[in-house]
Amino acid sequence: MRFKLLRRRLTISAPRMKVRSAMPWPLKWAAAAMVLGFCGAIALWTFELGKSLAGVDTGDREELAQLRDEVSHLRSERDRIQSLLNTSGSAMVVERSAQQGLATQIRALETENRSLRENLGFYEKLMPASGESVAIRGLQAEVLAGTQLKWQVLVIQPVKNAPEFQGKLELNVSGTLDGKPWMMPLPGGPQALQFRQFRRLEGMVDLPPDVVVKNVSARVVEGTVSRAVQNVSL
């Protein structure tokens, strides 16, 4: 049996044998990658050549340049609008400041106008009245918070080169208290009065609780003679 097998291997009837070169698999992969890269490079070159021949690449470049110009124009327009907005904001700030300044001046002028009117009224009260030697001008009274009475009176001699007047000012406050008639003179009694041309007197009077003031009366007395009387109703 062994002889037959040996003869079959050594004679023409022996089976065929294939001779292959043993190449490592990393080299095979590297060779395949090189072939694929070469094919890809050829395909990319072919594609670029086709774009160049068809004029597609030139159009893209022109469109890209146009887009860049438009972007530059839009940026310039944005900067211009921003500058206008900044200028408008500054103008609004200046205008607001000017309005505030004008409002302050208007308030100051209104205050000055009120002061001038008060002075005018005061000097109008100083104008002489015929037949008067001593007169009461501008008796004013005001109840504050229901607990105090603020009063003011102006006494004048409406003649030129008037002699010095010496007398007293009497002030009486009248009204109702708990529904009954009520009257109170000036606390501390009559005030001494001495002047030549005019004299202004004022003061505060504490009122009893629940009193209702209805009338304030002022009288100028010289000695025992009443020279002037004036009443004001509240």
Q: Tell me: the pLDDT tens digits for 133-187?
A: 788 887 888 888 878 889 898 888 877 777 888 899 999 999 988 888 989 898 8
What's the whole-model pTM score?
0.43
Phi/psi at 166 (nearest 5 deg)? Answer: -130, 120
Cα(183)–Cα(211) distance, integer angstroms: 10
Residue indicated by tokens 């006494």:
155
User: How high is the pLDDT of residue 13?
Assistant: 53
232 has a pLDDT exceeding 70:
yes
* pLDDT of residue 119 exceeding 70: no
**Where residue 120 falls among pLDDT bands split at 50, 70, 90?**
low
Residues 215-224, mean pLDDT to the nearest whole number: 89
Token pair 């839009």: residue? 74
H or E stretch at 141 = strand 135-144
Decide the pairing of beta strands 180-185 and 165-177: antiparallel
Average pLDDT over residues 40-44: 69
Rounded to whole angstroms, the Cα distance separating 69 from 62 reads: 11
pLDDT value for 90: 74
